[in-house]
């Protein structure tokens, strides 16, 4: 049976360790595509899951990738062998991956493998939060919390290319805010001063759509700067699950708090999200209006070093594994 190299997470009592192993090369089934992976993104969530892996079977890491179509399963449509593709799936940090044809997107000619592999996860997630859940409208004032995160960087750019008005970005790091300024941020806020910044930036109206990755610690302040009919979409809870909520503000301003998670969805719903993201964003990616900042690239043999760097939480651009 043909084999391939893959980066496995090996669960252990003190947290998962990483190990390169030879394993069976997957085969495309009905409606599936086999892709020769050239690069795979490394995301914060994967690092957290690896650290929490204390029992269970070893698994191949990764949720996004870019590469060339190697084979088509029966009924798979839309692609041909040799096409450059990027996509979202599981077990992507390996020489080959199998996904549904609907999980793939064509790679624009202007993108490198590293850039293409860094697009799917954060841009699909951010697009879903802004457009599908948040109902982004042209002219909306948008707030992005933890804006230097991967999802934050994606959300800023999506808001800009889809016609948002003011885009306010927050981060505890002044250095990170400076690095993302060119992406489409109109106002940046550090550890203090959100209320005054939003008031001045929006002429007193407030924020129409907030994209939150921080969670509990940011809830009260975020709600306090929302406009009438504002929508707060929570994607992550990096700072904690629990927060204070002013119920009067929620009611009197007609606010909506919306929680989203792809883990709570069917695979069909996830595939719909991929298609929606491709429809709205691929033209902007191909034109260069959306850019993919790459912080560091590592060969798969150095995946432990990639995880170690990710845990420092000092990066703004993506971390990529090449194969």
Owner of token pair 């959100």: 194
pLDDT tier, 26 (very low <50, low <70, confident <90, very high otherwise): very high
CATH 3.40.50.720 is held by the domain 125-262: yes
Considering the chain, what is the average pLDDT of its residues?
95
Task: Count CB atoms within 10 A of the CB of residue 139.
Answer: 10
pLDDT score of 239 more than 90:
no
Q: Where in the chain is CATH 3.90.180.10?
A: 3-119+292-322
pLDDT tier, 35 (very low <50, low <70, confident <90, very high otherwise): very high
Q: Where in the chain is CATH 3.40.50.720?
A: 125-262
> Which two tokens mark 295?
């912080």
pLDDT tier, 1 (very low <50, low <70, confident <90, very high otherwise): confident
d(CA 132, CA 281): 13
Asked if residue 97 lies in contact with residue 26, where contact means CB atoms within 8 angstroms, the answer is yes
Tens digit of each residue's pLDDT (9 = 90 or more) over 40-55: 999 999 999 999 999 9
pLDDT of residue 290: 97
Tens digit of each residue's pLDDT (9 = 90 or more) over 120-161: 999 999 999 999 999 999 999 999 999 999 999 999 999 999
Architecture of the domain delimited by 3-119+292-322: Alpha-Beta Complex (3.90)
Backbone φ and ψ for 205, nearest 5 degrees, come out as -70, -50
Asked if residue 95 lies in contact with residue 109, where contact means CB atoms within 8 angstroms, the answer is no
Residue/partner pairs of 225-228 with CB below 8 Å, 24 or more apart = 225/143, 225/194, 225/195, 225/198, 225/199, 226/253, 226/255, 227/141, 227/202, 227/253, 228/253, 228/254
d(CA 282, CA 181): 22
More confident residue, 278 or 317: 278
pLDDT tier, 205 (very low <50, low <70, confident <90, very high otherwise): very high
pLDDT tier, 191 (very low <50, low <70, confident <90, very high otherwise): low
pLDDT score of 189 more than 90:
no
State the average pLDDT over residues 11-35. Answer: 97
């Amino acid at each position: 049976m043909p084999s391939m190299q893959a980066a496995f997470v090996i669960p252990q009592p003190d947290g998962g360790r990483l190990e390169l192993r030879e394993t069976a090369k997957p085969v495309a089934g009905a409606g599936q595509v086999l892709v020769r992976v050239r690069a795979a993104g490394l995301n914060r969530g994967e690092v957290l899951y690896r650290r929490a892996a204390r029992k269970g079977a070893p698994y191949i890491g990764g949720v996004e990738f870019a590469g060339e179509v190697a084979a088509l399963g029966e009924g798979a449509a839309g692609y041909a062998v040799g096409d450059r593709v990027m996509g979202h799936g599981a077990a992507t940090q390996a020489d080959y991956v199998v996904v549904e044809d609907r999980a793939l997107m064509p790679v624009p000619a202007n993108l490198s493998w590293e850039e293409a592999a860094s697009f799917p996860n954060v841009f699909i997630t951010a697009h879903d939060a802004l457009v599908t859940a948040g109902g982004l409208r042209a002219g909306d004032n948008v707030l992005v919390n933890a804006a230097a995160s991967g999802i934050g960087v994606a959300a800023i750019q999506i808001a800009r290319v889809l016609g948002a008005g003011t885009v306010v970005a927050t981060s505890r790091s002044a250095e990170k805010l400076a690095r993302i300024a060119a992406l489409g941020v109109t106002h940046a806020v550090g550890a203090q001063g959100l209320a005054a910044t939003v008031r001045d930036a929006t002429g007193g109206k407030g924020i129409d759509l907030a994209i939150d990755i921080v969670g509990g610690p940011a809830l009260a302040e975020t709600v306090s700067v929302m406009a009438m009919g504002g929508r707060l979409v929570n994607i992550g809870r990096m700072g904690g699950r629990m927060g204070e909520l002013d119920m009067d503000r929620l009611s009197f301003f007609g606010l909506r708090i919306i929680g989203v998670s792809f883990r709570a969805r069917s695979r069909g719903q996830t595939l719909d999200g991929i298609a929606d993201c491709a429809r709205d964003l691929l033209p902007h990616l191909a034109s260069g209006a959306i850019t993919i900042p790459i912080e560091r690239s590592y060969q798969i043999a150095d995946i432990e070093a990639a995880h170690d760097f990710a845990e420092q939480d000092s990066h703004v651009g993506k971390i990529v594994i090449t194969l």
